[in-house]
Amino acid sequence: MPSVQLRGYRHSVHTVGITASGVLYVDIQKFAEDYSEYATTYYVRVADVARIKRLISRDRTTPISDLELLRLFAASFHTADYVLDWLREADVKVIRRHDEGACLNAEEGVPEAALTHASPPPSLARVAAHASRGQSY
């Protein structure tokens, strides 16, 4: 499924993607000199992804696609940390998975909670304000 790589920082790879089931993920892989140390992946529930897409699409005639959403994240945020900060500011809950040795693919083993339960609605005013600012972090 679609994903984009953010700039990240030295000895790490930051990726934002959407799984086939509609779960948004933010993946941070840390590297030592010659091996992958660990990865931490944060998942956003399907219902929350749909809500974010609706809010961002409110002034459009067609809804924003998964790829457009990912490109918007890549254009707006330099690192996964900034994506996570934005999600927290918008009251969007994330589910964290730590992978020692970075053996798992971010799209494999998506936590069941990311597929089935919606978090409380994010502050619509905050999400809309952040989306409309178009500022880069």
Report how far residue 42's alpha carbon sits from residue 47's, in angstroms, rounded to the nearest whole number.
15
Mean pLDDT, range 64-69, rounded to an integer: 95
Confidence band (pLDDT; 50, 70, 90) for 137? Answer: very low
**Selected residue with higher pLDDT from 95 and 100:** 95
Stretch 72-87: mean pLDDT: 94
Mean pLDDT of 84-106: 83
How many other β-carbons are positioned within 10 Å of the β-carbon of residue 11? Answer: 11
pTM across the whole model: 0.78
Token digits of residue 14: 């930051």
For residue 77, is pLDDT > 90?
A: yes
* Average pLDDT along the chain: 81
Write out the residue range of the structural domain in which residue 68 sits: 3-133
Number of domains making up the chain: 1
Helix (H, G, I), strand (E, B) or coil at 107: coil
